[in-house]
Amino acid sequence: MLNLKIVVGSTREGRAADRVVPWVLRRAQQRAEWVSEVVDLREWALPMFAETVHTIGDFANPTYSEPIVRQWNDLMRSADAVLIITPEYNHSVPGVLKNALDSLFFSFALRTKPAGLIGYSGGAVGGARSVEHLAHILIEAEAVPMRNSVLIPTVQDAFDDAGEPVNAAADVALDILLEDLEWWGRLLAVARPSSLPHALMRRKARAHQQQRAS
């Protein structure tokens, strides 16, 4: 079984995410390969990111500057894959989501893990620009963002009274995304134990070797 974290990237009152998340969770739970958990950033009062190499403690077992930051890193490290649901604010992701991703510092919690992206907006683009920006952020975190995503335009009208999408194409897009996440999730779960150390560690080791050789 693969551990899927569904991250809700909006925390504001009256958020449209509350229309999207139940549908995504239902579809994910229909797939036998996933153990799905909603990770709502409303429940994670993370401080503004200010960690440095001097605040994390032991590099092999970081404690960070506050216990909640360590808990957040531990939670996300337990994932085999992530599915991030995000609105679009000023052509990008919400600050609370960026801060949560930045706070995954030095644990490399998303490294070599597939990431699916679901965007929504009240306009016609369906969060496409936030999804594009988020993919760049995830590449820097060494996650593996999926090429296929789900975009939900005019989210206020996108679901019926039963919480189902009025446009069948949304179900098709989500089904394809979950298929992609499963394929990559299984592949990377097998490969991850033998993955290369992070480049920072390899640079440090090489510098150490050079010092010993000089």
pLDDT at 182: 96
pLDDT of residue 211: 84
Distance CA 51, CA 53 (A): 7
Residue 202, pLDDT score: 85
| Residue 214 confidence (pLDDT) above 80 | no
CA distance 161 to 169: 18
CA distance 39 to 81: 13
Share of the chain above pLDDT 70, in %: 100
pLDDT bin (cut points 50, 70, 90) of residue 60 is confident
pLDDT band at 199 (very low <50, low <70, confident <90, very high): confident
- Does residue 210 register a pLDDT over 90? no
Rounded-to-integer distance, Cα 35 and Cα 8, Å: 17
Residues 163-191, mean pLDDT to the nearest whole number = 97
Q: Residues 79-120: pLDDT tens digits?
A: 999 999 999 999 999 999 999 999 998 899 999 999 999 999
The pLDDT assigned to 213 comes to 84
Mean pLDDT calculated for residue range 181-195:
94
Q: Could you give the CA distance from residue 155 to residue 149 in angstroms, rounded to a whole number?
A: 16
Question: What domains sit in the chain, N to C, each tagged with a CATH number?
Answer: 2-213 (3.40.50.360)
